[in-house]
Every structure is written in structure tokens, then in C-alpha cells.
Amino acid sequence: MDQDLIITKIQAPPLRPQLVQRPRLIHQLDKGLRRGCGLALVSAPAGFGKTTLVRQWLHETGCTFAWFSCDEEDNDPFRFWRYLTAALQTTGKGVGGAVESALCSPEPLQLEALIAILINDITTLQTPVALILDDFQTVNAAPIYRSLNLLLDHAPPNLWIVVITRADPPLSLGRRRAGMNLVEIRAADMRFTNEEATRFLQASAGLDLSSEAIDELHKRTEGWVVGLQLAALSLQRREDKLRFVRSFAGDDSFVMDYLVEEVLQQQPPHVRDFLLQTSILGRMCASLCDALTGRNDGQLMLSSLVQSNIFLEPLDNCRVWCRYHRLFSELLRHRLHLSMGLEQVMFLHRRASEWFERNGYVSEAIAHSLEADDIARAADLVERYGLAMVFRCGAIVMSSWMKRLPEDIIRSRPLLCAIHAWGLLFALAPPELVENRLTDAENGRHVVPDEGSGDVPRNEILSHVATIRSYLARIYAKDPKAAIELSFPALGHFSESSHYLRSAVLINRGLSYLMLGNIAESKRAFIEVEELTQASGNYYFALISLHRQAYIASRQGRLHEAASICRKALRTIIVPALRKGEPVPFAGAIYVQLGSVLLEWNDLEEAERALTKGLELLRPYRGTRIQVEGHAAYARLKQARGDLAGAINLLEQAKPLWHGAEPYARSMQTRLRLLHEGYDPTLLDLDEVGVKELWPDSEHDGQAEAIDIDIEGGWRHAEQLNLVRLLIAKARASSAVQRDAELGPLISSLERRIQIVREFGLAAWTQELLLQKALALSAMGDFIQALASLKRALAQAQSGGYTRIFVDEGPPMARLLSWAFEKGAMPKYTARLLAAFPKSELPPEEDLGDLGLQPELCDPVSMREIEVLELIAEGLSNQQIAERLVISLGTVKVHTHNMFGKLRVHSRTQAVAKAKALGILSSP
């Protein structure tokens, strides 16, 4: 659980013994919710016992519940949903885990997606879950009402939402009332009846009053619960009870005012002082009270006041934190201002602020220093803790602190401007806003040096500015060169120990190099980040670094390395964190990357497991590039299973999420249709397109300055490949003359592109292009050249274990491969590839018969089994293998068993020996 969450907000107030039972109301609440009303509204002014009632109901009904006490700060939608999700997590039933991770990361989110996930999690529970929103009148932001209405409208029947409030919220109450979907308990219901008042007053320390007296009290307070409670308290200490009743009844001042005055008068002076001084606190504990009063009887005081059952409510079961009933604290605070001068009140706030800071509660420390009118101190606090907050994924929280500071104060402190700029960047604010703050940071000067804040060296400020500008350059201006240039001065002045900041600079640098196709530098940057994160323990940066390293490895054709990096990430970071229930943003990306490699190895079951898990973790990240990659991989998985219609459908369903990647989605669908239905002129609905449309950047003398190999670059590459496939298919369907005319230039274009891509070290892309070249040549009838290209591809692809790039090309590739096998080109690899094709796509039996495919290899050993075999050869036990590959021990045993069958051996030594003899394992 995040330490920045105020735990008491999501704990139900402890159950307290009630002097008056209210079975009628509890029954009304219970019956309504069980009958299927999704929403219960408990709406009445302060002091009617709303919270107590709901708490009592929860106790009696015994259902699972989540409690969320709202306050004014929760008007930020992300903070609100973060607390709501955290509350749901306290049920311990695994609700909202993925959401919590997502809320911690700076990736763009949409609330609708989050809500859908919560709804899903709750639905799977099936047993009732009550969600209590207390003090809901403090929330009044329209986006929150909208999102709650969304939740209410789609809530499963086992979710019971109870809103406790002093003012009716705009949650379509009229509609729900009319549809009988609302349980309402209002002030009129909650007033004590005369009978209840009688019972209460009699039970309160055995007050023995006449029925006339009770009548008077009941009439004067109008059954207002808190009024009766205070009256009872006063009466307990009074000798002449009747006199009190008469003068109270005869007075017409505001009830609470009168009674509170009464009660305070009765307290000994030190108690009175305690009550007044601590009234400024939203919540309190013994140590904090002592800090305010300057005494050390805080614990004693709190214990005895809690006993009285009116003044203080405990907030947790350990009785560490409590708070005044809101109404009471308002009144106390009023009296505090009357009895003490403003100066003294502010002094109390200052003491409170210091205590909160000392004990690690920065938000409250800031709030109190603002109440103390000590803006300088509030600014100091933001300077001190703001950056750490942003990098711990609390950009929203930090922004809320910043909003409370006056603009001219922010401008006069360059570090504050820099921190604010970071927050804006992480919150994906418009770049102009970020740039404005950066200019402020550059121009700002310390107007008045304060005692609290040391002078921040100007160089450090400039480093912040350069780093943020480098992010803006890459993300918004799409100018990676500028981004890289900025990264050097940025690193210059950050001290060795600021790991977050150095990592941030390096990540941006690495991503910028990817946009330029510079693999070596990109890799170097990400490896440096990994080293830094080992010291700082920041998951987010570590996973980004590992994900990118795996990504780069796979672009280089090093699939084993890619898989091994992903597994390292799983083993060392993701799995332990998930087990501890900690949020792991970006974990989905690792699963997707691993799944893609497994898919390429044709290990469809494992690939499906990884991709499913990845997509599940990515659900809250609607429309991000990683999520698009996940869906694309899943579509290819369906394709590999032969479910072409399913793959097309999946892409169609996912399209609304593919904001900015629609051309990619369409391109994939077209390709699938080509495979499914064969060539059709309408697929190429670009009449005039010719070879000229392909790779415009490679037309400059066969040189390219840069190739974007980041994710979007990968999409462009895939789209181009699909276009090539269409052109080849089109050519096949044309006359012989036309075919040659079309394919000739296409092949030249491919060859030029291959040169370029090869120079950038992109083995994966080189292979794919070589295959297309081979297919184009064979379509033209030039089998010799086709074979030559194919052999180049095979030679390169073998070490990575590539399988699907061949199989996905269908029958034309099968024909080429069998021809290659016949000619003796890399027979073992070729034979294994052929065995991976569906039987229907292979050339007829009689052609294959001559090819002398070894019977042992007809049921070939899968890539996963080879991995296991390699580890066996290294001497690892099954348990060690299970840990290395992050799979279960049972799965390892299944693999070895299958493998023994395929190789027709009975022992590990035999298996290794035979595999080496067959060339499946390379001999040393």
C-alpha cells in the first residue's frame, strides 16, 4: 500500500456501543439494498447519527465492505478514484489491483476503462460488497459525479453503494427514485422519536427525568441526535436538572451554540483549553496534541474524551487517531477564534505543520502552514518534497499542493517552477504550459532568501530545464536530435546521487536514439538506467529499461536474449512485487514483449499465456502504444492458430482503442484478408500506388540518415511489408508481362531497403525483407535468385530460432522452403520450419517424399523444449530450470517428458547426446 495514502480515510470508524438501537432504520437500509437497489442515500444535516447508523448496519449485516471518508481534497478525480480503489482493496478480495498500478504511473488513463475493470473485478466476486462514501458533501466536482453515475449505471447487483452526505448529490436521484432503485434515509427518518429520546436519556448515565422534562428536551432539540447527546452530557453534571431543562427550553438561541457553551463551561480549564487548541486539527493523535498544547497529557485526554462518546470519534481500531465530530469542531473553532487572538491561532497551525512534517505527512503539513498564513514555509515544503512525489507517480498530488501557492511566490523560486514543470510534463499538460514554467525557472531569482530553503545552485535548475526540454523535444516536437543534444548538459550538473533525475535523462536519450535508429547508443543509455535503478529501487524506470533492452535485442534478431531479459524482469521485479500486492506499472509491456518472442518461436500455448496476462495488466492504459502492440500480437496469435476470421474480428473490436494507430490496424486487417480470401483488387484500394510509395526515405542514393525503430517506426515497417505482400499478390494475378513490369522495380526497391536496414543492424527487419524479396523473385519465376535470398534469410534467422516469419507467408513460402530443403540448404532448420506449416499448405506428398525428411524430426522438438534441453545440458536441476524460465516445476516435467518421447530416449544424458547428434543442440 502506498504510504502517501492517509490510511484513516479508508478505514471504517470503529464500532461503538450504542445507547439507542435503531432497528427500523437498519432494516430499511438492509432490505432495500438486498432487494437490488444499487444505491442507498443517507442524507441529513450534521449530527443526526448517519455514520453511526451505517456502521451499525455493516456490523449487523456482516457483508464485505469498503469505507472511504471523503474530504475537500478529494475533488481531484484521480485522487478520488485512487482512494476509492484503495478502499476496495482493503476488502482483500483482489479488487482493483490492476487499477492501482495504473493510477500510479504517468501513462494516460481514462476513467471509463478503470471503472470497467473495477466493475469486472466486483462482478467476479459474486458476494455482496458494500462501498461506503462518507462525508460525500465535501465532494462537488462535476467529473466525479459523472464517473460515479457511470459506476452506478453499470454496477453489478452485488455492489451496494451507500452515500452518507449532508446534501443531496446529483446522482440522478429522481430517476433512481422513480425506478425504485434508491433507498433513502433522511433527516425526518433519523430524528429521535419521543420514545427513542426517552430511552436515550434514561440510558445516559441513568438520568431520571420526568416525561414532561423529556418532552421539553425533545421539542427543543426537535429530536436532533447530537443535541440530545449534548443535553444529556450537561444534565449529568447538573444538580438541578429541572432548572437546566427549563432555561434551555426557554432559550431560543441556536441549539448547538447554547449546548456547547454549557458543556464547555462545565469542563475544568485545562480540558477546555485542550478542546479549543486541538480544534484546528482535521485528525489527531496523542503526540500531535502534545505538540500543540505543550503538555504531555495528550494520551490521557484523548482516552477520556473518547469515552464521553460525543466529542471524539476514533478513526481506527488501535485508537491512535481520532477526530472531533465535524459539527463540534466547527463550533470549537469558532470559540477558539473568539477567545484567542489571530496570532495565537496561527501559531497553533504552525506547530501542527511542524509535527506533520516531522512525521512524514506532507499534505497536512502544507495545509496547516497555509492556514498559518506562512506561505514561505508552505513553499519550502513543496520544494523539499515535491520532486520525490512526482517521481513516485504522485504528479497529481504535487499539483494540488502547487495550486495552493500564489503565482508570484512560485515564480520567485526557480526550483518550484522546475518541480511544477515536471508535474505538468508527467500529467501530459500541453507543452506550452510546461515551456512557460521552464521560462519562469530560467528567469526566476530568489526574491527574499528564506531561512528554510537553501539556495539551489543555478546549474541544477538549468539541468532540470534541459531535461524537461529534452522530453518535450522528443514527445511533442518529434525532434530526437534536439532531445539528445539537450541530454548532455542536463546530465552535467545533476549530482551523482540523484538517481531519479539521471535515469529520467537517460531514458529520454535512449528513446530518442531509437527514433534515429542508433541501436548501440540507445542500448548504452538503457543499460546505464538499469544500473542506476539498482541503486534507487525505482520499479518504473527499471522496467522501462529492461523492456527497451529486450525490444532492441529482438530488433537485432537476438530472440533468446530478448526472452531472457524479459524473464529477468519477471523474476527479479514483477513477480515479487505482484505477490506483495505492490503496484507495478509497465509490467504489461514485459509480458507482451515475452509473448511476442514466444509467438515467433511458435510456442503458441505459452505465448497465449503471456499475452493474455500482458493485455490484462494493460487494460487501464487505453490507447497507448504498448496496448496496441499487445492487441496486434494477440491477433497474430489467432492467425497462427488458423483463426483468421477471429483475428480480423479482434482487430475490429480493438480499433476504438487504437487512437493514432488506425493505419496500422487497417493494414493488418488487409493482410489477414489477403491470407483468408486470397487476392482481390479491392484490397489495394490505392489505384495509383506503385513502388514509389514505398520507403520514400530510401530514395536518396540508397542512404538514410535515420530510421525510426521505436514503436511507431515498427508500425510503418509492418505497413510497408503488407503493402509489398499486396503488390506481389497483385502481380501474381496479372499477366506474365505485367508481372515482370511490376515486380522488377519492387525487387530493386527491396534490395535498396535491405542494404539500408542492414547497416543499421536491424537483423529482424532484414530477414523479413529478404523473405519478401525471395517471394517476389519466385513470383517472377527466378527461382535461383529466390533461393539465394531465402538462404540469406535462413542463415540469419536460425540463431534466433525464427519460425513464424516463414510460416505466416503461407503456401508460396512452403514451396520455396521445400525446394531449398531439396537443394540441401540448411536441411535441419528448413525441415523444422516445414514441419511447422499446417499440412494443407505444404506441397503435395509425392514432392515431399523425395526430400528424405527424417522421421525423428517429423514431430519436431519445440523451441521451448530446446530451451529446457539447453539448461539440462548446462547441468541444471528441474527446479532450477523452473526458476530460470519462470514456469512451474510441473511444466518443466511435462516438457522433458514430451521431449524424451520425441527423441525416443529415456534419460537426460541420452537426450542431450541425441539432440547434439541431430544438430538440435550445438555441440561445443
Partner 1 sequence: MQESIGLDRPAKYRIEVRGRLNESWSDWFGGMTIGVERTSDGSAVSVMTGVIHDQAALHGLLRRIQDLGLPLIRVERMADEPE
CB nearer to partner 1: pick between 153 and 251: 251
| Angle at the Cα of 212 from the Cα atoms of 207 and 213, rounded to 5 degrees | 40
CB nearer to partner 1: pick between 334 and 823: 334
Q: Are strands 159-165 and 39-43 parallel, antiparallel or unpaired?
A: parallel
CB nearer to partner 1: pick between 257 and 680: 257
The least distance separating partner 1 from the CB of residue 326, rounded to whole angstroms, comes to 7
The least distance separating partner 1 from the CB of residue 686, rounded to whole angstroms, comes to 54
> Could you tell me which residues come within 8 angstroms of residue 910 by beta carbon, excluding any fewer than 6 positions away?
903
List Cα–Cα distances, 908 to 390, 876, 905, 913, 918, in angstroms.
Answer: 53, 11, 8, 9, 15
The least distance separating partner 1 from the CB of residue 137, rounded to whole angstroms, comes to 8
Closest C-alpha among 5, 100, 126, 88 to residue 619: 100
Residues that bind partner 1 (CB under 8 A): 45-47, 137, 166-167, 224, 251-257, 326-327, 330-331, 334, 337-338
| Nine cell digits for residue 711 | 514503436
Distance CA 394, CA 4 (A): 9
The least distance separating partner 1 from the CB of residue 465, rounded to whole angstroms, comes to 35
CB nearer to partner 1: pick between 167 and 300: 167
Distance, C-alpha 603 to centroid of its chain:
29
The least distance separating partner 1 from the CB of residue 182, rounded to whole angstroms, comes to 22
CB nearer to partner 1: pick between 144 and 721: 144
Q: Is the dihedral of CA 657, 663, 664, 666 positive or negative?
A: positive
| DSSP-derived secondary structure letter, 206 | G
CB nearer to partner 1: pick between 166 and 895: 166
List Cα–Cα distances, 366 to 297, 421, 764, in angstroms.
Answer: 26, 20, 54
CB nearer to partner 1: pick between 225 and 573: 225
Phi, psi of 323, rounded to the nearest 5 degrees: -150, 160
CB nearer to partner 1: pick between 326 and 411: 326
The least distance separating partner 1 from the CB of residue 546, rounded to whole angstroms, comes to 49
CB nearer to partner 1: pick between 135 and 530: 135
Q: Is 367 exposed, middle or buried (0-12, 13-18, 19+ CB in 10 A)?
A: buried
The least distance separating partner 1 from the CB of residue 140, rounded to whole angstroms, comes to 9
Which residues sit opposite 322 in a β-bridge? 284, 314
CB nearer to partner 1: pick between 338 and 784: 338
Residue 614: HSE in the Cβ half-sphere, 13 Å Cα cutoff: 27
CB nearer to partner 1: pick between 251 and 605: 251
- What is the three-class DSSP state of 295? coil
- What is the three-class DSSP state of 371? helix
| Angle at the Cα of 717 from the Cα atoms of 714 and 719, rounded to 5 degrees | 110
Closest C-alpha among 661, 652, 773 to residue 715: 661
CB 619 within 8 A of CB 98: yes
Closest C-alpha among 521, 543, 519 to residue 530: 543
The least distance separating partner 1 from the CB of residue 265, rounded to whole angstroms, comes to 15
The least distance separating partner 1 from the CB of residue 657, rounded to whole angstroms, comes to 39
CB nearer to partner 1: pick between 227 and 800: 227
The least distance separating partner 1 from the CB of residue 64, rounded to whole angstroms, comes to 32
The least distance separating partner 1 from the CB of residue 90, rounded to whole angstroms, comes to 28
**Rg of the chain's alpha carbons, rounded to an integer?**
35
Distance CA 821, CA 838 (A): 17
> Could you tell me which residues come within 8 angstroms of residue 632 by beta carbon, excluding any fewer than 6 positions away?
651, 664, 668
| Nine cell digits for residue 212 | 414532561
CB nearer to partner 1: pick between 337 and 908: 337
CB 757 within 8 A of CB 766: yes
Q: Is 652 exposed, middle or buried (0-12, 13-18, 19+ CB in 10 A)?
A: exposed
Closest C-alpha among 756, 762, 771 to residue 714: 762
Distance CA 749, CA 767 (A): 15
| Sheet strand arrangement including 182-186 | 64-69, 129-134, 159-165, 39-43, 182-186
The least distance separating partner 1 from the CB of residue 246, rounded to whole angstroms, comes to 17
CB nearer to partner 1: pick between 246 and 446: 246
CB 636 within 8 A of CB 593: no
CB nearer to partner 1: pick between 230 and 868: 230
Q: Is the dihedral of CA 750, 755, 761, 766 positive or negative?
A: positive
Residue 806: enclosing H or E segment and its boundaries? helix 804-807
| Nine cell digits for residue 334 | 469558532
The least distance separating partner 1 from the CB of residue 230, rounded to whole angstroms, comes to 12
The least distance separating partner 1 from the CB of residue 340, rounded to whole angstroms, comes to 13
The least distance separating partner 1 from the CB of residue 345, rounded to whole angstroms, comes to 12
